[in-house]
Amino acid sequence: MPLALCFNPDTTLLLRPIPSSTHLAISSRHPRSWSPISRAAATVSAMAVGSVRVATAQMTSIDDLAANFATCSRLVQEAASAGAKLLCFPESFSFIGANDEDSVKIAEPLDGPIMQQYRSLARESKIWLSLGGFQEKGSEEAHICNTHVVIDDAGNIRSSYRKIHLFDVDVPGGRSYKESSYTEPGKDTVALDSPIGRLGLTVCYDVRFAELYQQLRFQHEAQVLLVPAAFTKITGEAHWEILLRARAIETQCYVIAAAQAGKHNDKRESYGDTLIIDPCGTVVGRLPDRVSTGIAIADIDLSLVDSVRTRMPIAKHRKPFNFWRPASLLFPLLCISKLNKVARVNMLRVAESMIPLRPLASETRHSDVS
């Protein structure tokens, strides 16, 4: 596939009204003269040869586990009917309470009944699910883990990632957040193979930390980066799309960003704008309404990933992580010059161990996934 498609995409948005205030948006590279078509025809006609269809959800989760599951179930059926192999849900898909303590109260281990429901849903619908931002019970009663779980089409948990960067921010013009007060930070990067390519897992606020995405691309060979999120309305308006497109461009990966949208309660409102972005930073999937409940669909073409990386070989041109070490350590080395010999030796040992490459904690490679 020629690289020019990235810079001059010939993209048509295909829409069809769906019951229960749900929207389905299908993105495909077809002539602009095409008129809107039905979902059934879109499944057959819009899918590019050699590509794999993906879907990403937008929803407004509330403090009702059953209601949220009903919404997720409906969206799963829509995605499966459209031919999607993977459906991505946003952060806190199963529950958003009025207070942080509510998340702690409903938290469960990954083998608990809440996750079992979603595993059954994936198995019955024969679709992979990305469940980003599940309230997993932490190592102590007062804390949870913000965990991104990937389930295959047989209902098996293939991998899980615990959010590394926690949202402790006083939002200008908004409320204060301190996620670390009730959430344990994760420590490990996670990637796994899937039917749509090699996935790199992240959650929401992680998107502001480019080094995590660099690790996923250059150390762990990710082709598709998943960013389930619940961005605030204020920060979303300012930075949501530009951050996602930047991550796609600098890693030459697809980015799939499922978003919470609208008012969850009197205290919390999310920005929305669920997106699918190609390796050149072009938006190829998006809902027509930034805050409606629905799914956006696009076709992932890994040959485009290869083409972009071949024509713009940044993997060959980039400097290794330790290239920057001498410059970054210059000031500390000058500072310790007046220390005694034992102190200098100890400080230099610490300096030599800086900028480590974190090992991949959870990795699954399957040659027989379908």
Residue 294 and residue 283: Cα distance in Å, rounded?
A: 17
Q: Encoding tokens for residue 81?
A: 């009917």
* Catalytic positions, written as ranges: 91, 163, 204
SS (H, E, C) 198-227: EEEECCHHHHHCHHHHHHHHHHCCCCEEEC
Angle CA 145–149–151, to nearest 5 = 155
CA distances from 220 to 290, 293, 305 (A): 32, 33, 15
48-79 burial: b if 16+ Cβ within 10 Å, else e: beebbbbbbbbbbbbbeeeebbebbebbbebb
Measured CA to CA, the distance from residue 76 to residue 74 in angstroms comes to: 5
Backbone φ and ψ for 71, nearest 5 degrees, come out as -65, -45
| Strand blocks (E) in the chain | 12-18, 22-28, 52-59, 86-89, 128-137, 144-151, 157-162, 168-170, 176-178, 183-184, 190-194, 197-201, 224-226, 254-257, 259-263, 269-271, 275-277, 283-286, 293-300, 362-364
- Residue 349 falls in which region: left (phi positive, over 0), alpha (psi -120 to 50) or beta: alpha
What's the rounded Cα separation, in Å, for the pair 102 and 349?
45
List the structure tokens of 19. Answer: 């019951």
Alpha-carbon torsion (124, 129, 132, 137), positive or negative: positive
Largest CA distance in the chain: 77
d(CA 71, CA 79) in angstroms, rounded, equals: 12
| Residues ≥6 apart with Cβ < 8 Å to 120 | 155
